[in-house]
Amino acid sequence: MQTNPIPRLELTGITKRFPGVLANDNVGFSVLPGEIHALLGENGAGKSTLVKMIYGIMQPDAGQIRWNGAPVTVQNPKAARKLGIGMVFQHFSLFDAMTVLENIALGLDANLPQRELEAKIRAVMQQYRLLLDPHRTVSTLSVGERQRIEIVRALLLNPSLLIMDEPTSVLTPQEVEQLFVVLRKLASEGCSILYISHKLHEIKALCDTATILRGGKLVDTCDPKVETSRSMAEKMIGAGLKEIKKVAGRTFGQERMIVNRLSVPGIGPFGISLHDINFEVKAGEIFGIAGVAGNGQNALLLALSGEVPSDDADAITVDGARVGTLSAKQRRLKGMASVPEERNGHAAVPEFTLSDNTILTARDRLHMVSGGLIRSGMAKTYAGEVITSFAVKALGPGATAGSLSGGNLQKYIMGREIMQKPSVLVVSQPTWGVDAGAAAAIHQALVDLAGQGSAIVVISQDLDELLSLCDTLAVINGGRLSKPMQVAEADINEIGLLMGGIHGDTSAVAPERAHAH
């Protein structure tokens, strides 16, 4: 270490308590000027809470924030921006019906004339090669382009610290590279970057320092260039990693689900419609559907589960039965189960007990209803079995679904469907926001179910997850599904291009074999 410069941001003893949890426990680290600093941790490790306190959305219960050496209290985001802290959130706050320019103008504290603002925006875009037409309507932009709006909005304020919250979770591999170029350029100009992620290879590629959080506590501050992905992962998870156990040389049986020319009109002015979706899943096969968020994944899940039935009975076939026009309840009776992305309020009712939540999807297949009355004893027994079999941490069948952590509730929901032994299971984002331990358990359960001869469809934005879990993979983009490919032979560049909406010829791209993490 040479002469110690004054850190741009220094946190000491930051503690934040929520009812029932200690989100941050005596956390401290510092970010130097021009440093790209990774904040690494699993979902629920306390990363978001920590940056919310830096950005002034929340106040710490104890501890100190120093800015360029001076202690500060960041009252609100406006004060944070005034200090020179910019933030790009994981979930964008953009109005679909407005142009890029209007969206940026809305997010600014100062009131600039439109022409002046446009000139400034164009200058920033030029400087960092964030190419975007300020007069385009947001609804016509890809997710990667929408993120650029947020970055431009943050850069307009000349921040000296830029916080990026999980910026790559919605980007294609190519877009990630472009983003890194921008971030490196910013850092070289002296802007500090606090980069929040749980993707280790990105952190190794981009960051100078990594602070690892686990369960709200600081585990380590290390140099990601020196550490291996595995060593960082183990610090992050606190235990050895589990590999998915797949039986080698599996063979598939007959087609159990066939989707044939499925088209669904979009809901609302900006809803994504599905066009001519075709694929088939065999017994024992795990079929992955990759894609950047907002390309029709939700519509596809609703169409497959039967929540939005099709007009065409032949659009979906399950074990030879034409179910296209059937409702969700009827499709369940034909052997189909589904798990939507949103746990609270879609897959489960947060106010209801776990026992009551089994009635939601298991009542007919498991005969929990007789003569219009609910056999609550059976529901309770089944809930108890799911809790035990899937190691759900809950007080029992009487606990409300909302009182469970995300990972535990997800395990419970997956267990509720899997233990009904469906012939076809469709799941969306099975491990989104779930800690690594629970994710591994869920992956293993899916593999085991496939081993018993069920056909499984996994819709996910996490490409690594799909590559390690699935046998076959297709990419959804703009409501259209690509041709399926064997994961073992898949080319990650081609997948990336498909995710970005470029179909067909990919010979210009140097092939790189897909790697499973």
Partner 1 sequence: MRIKLEKRPEPSRLMLVITPIASVLLTMLVGVVVFDALGIDGQRAVVDIFLTPLLASYKWQDVAVKAAPLIIIGLGLSIGNRANVWNIGAEGQYIIGALCAAGIGIAAGTSGGPFIMVLMVLAGIAGGSAWASVPAVLKTRLGVNEILSSLMFTYVALQVLSYLVGGPWKDPNGRNFPATAPLTADQALPLLPFTSVHLGVGVALVLPFLFWLLMSKSVFGYQIRVVGSAPNAARHGGFDSNQTVWLAMLIGGGMAGLAGALEFAGALKTINLGFPSGYGFTAIIVSFLGRLHPIGVLIAGIVLAVTYVGGQVAQTTVHIPNATAGIFQAMMLFFILASDIFVRYRVRFIPAAKSAPAAGE
426 is an interface residue for partner 1 by CB under 8 A: no
| CA distance linking residue 75 with residue 86, whole number of Å | 15
The yes or no reply on residue 327 touching partner 1 (CB under 8 A) is yes
Q: Helix crossing, 354-362 with 406-418: angle to 10°?
A: 40
Q: Does 113 bind partner 1 (CB under 8 A)?
A: no
Q: In angstroms, give the least distance from the CB of 343 to partner 1.
A: 10
Helices marked H in 290-327 — which ranges? 297-305
Q: Which of 328, 447, 502, 509 is in the footprint of partner 1 by CB under 8 A?
A: 328
Q: Quick check: 266 binds partner 1 (CB under 8 A)?
A: no
Q: Which residue among 146, 363, 411, 480 contacts partner 1 (CB under 8 A)?
A: 363
Select from 43-51, 198-206, 287-295, 358-366 the region that touches partner 1 (CB under 8 A). 358-366
Q: Is 509 in the site for partner 1 (CB under 8 A)?
A: no
Which of 239, 213, 224, 233 is closest to 49 using CA atoms? Answer: 213
- Of the candidates 90, 137, 403, 444, which one interacts with partner 1 according to CB under 8 A? 403
Nearest 5°: phi and psi at 66? Answer: -110, 135
Of 9, 36, 39, 83, the residue at the interface with partner 1 (CB under 8 A) is 83
Distance separating alpha carbons of residues 200 and 211, to the nearest angstrom: 12
Question: 373, 489, 505, 510: which one contacts partner 1 (CB under 8 A)?
Answer: 373
Contacts of 114 (CB under 8 A, 6+ apart): 101, 105
Residue 306 contacts partner 1 per CB under 8 A: yes
**5: its two tokens:** 């410069």
One-letter amino acid identity for 21? V
Candidates 193-201, 287-295, 353-361, 478-486: pick the segment binding partner 1 (CB under 8 A): 353-361
Angle, helices 173-188/143-155, rounded to nearest 10 degrees? 10
The number of residues that bind partner 1 (CB under 8 A) is: 51
Measured from the CB of residue 375, what is the shortest distance to partner 1 in angstroms?
A: 9
Q: Which of 90, 137, 400, 444 binds partner 1 (CB under 8 A)?
A: 400
What are the φ/ψ torsions at residue 62 (nearest 5 degrees)? -150, 160
Closer Cβ to partner 1, 98 or 369, answer by number: 369
Query: Strand locations in 185-330, DSSP E?
Result: 192-197, 209-214, 217-222, 255-264, 274-282, 286-290, 316-318, 321-322
Among 22, 57, 72, 516, binds partner 1 (CB under 8 A): 72
Considering only 118-126, 302-310, 468-476, 490-498, which stretch makes contact with partner 1 by CB under 8 A?
302-310
Pick the closest to residue 39 from 15, 67, 11, 80 (CA basis). Answer: 11
75 is a site residue for partner 1 (CB under 8 A): yes
Task: Provide the minimum distance between the beta carbon of 271 and partner 1 in the complex, in angstroms, as a whole number.
Answer: 15
Rounded Cα distance, 335 and 316, in Å: 13
CB closer to partner 1, 416 vs 480? 416
Distance CA 132, CA 144 (A): 11
CB 411 within 8 A of CB 211: no
Choose, by CB under 8 A, the member of 48, 295, 361, 405 that binds partner 1.
361
Q: Which residues bind partner 1 (CB under 8 A)?
A: 19-20, 56, 59, 64, 67, 70-75, 78-80, 82-83, 305-307, 327-330, 332, 338, 340, 342, 344-352, 356, 359-361, 363-364, 369, 372-374, 376, 400, 402-403
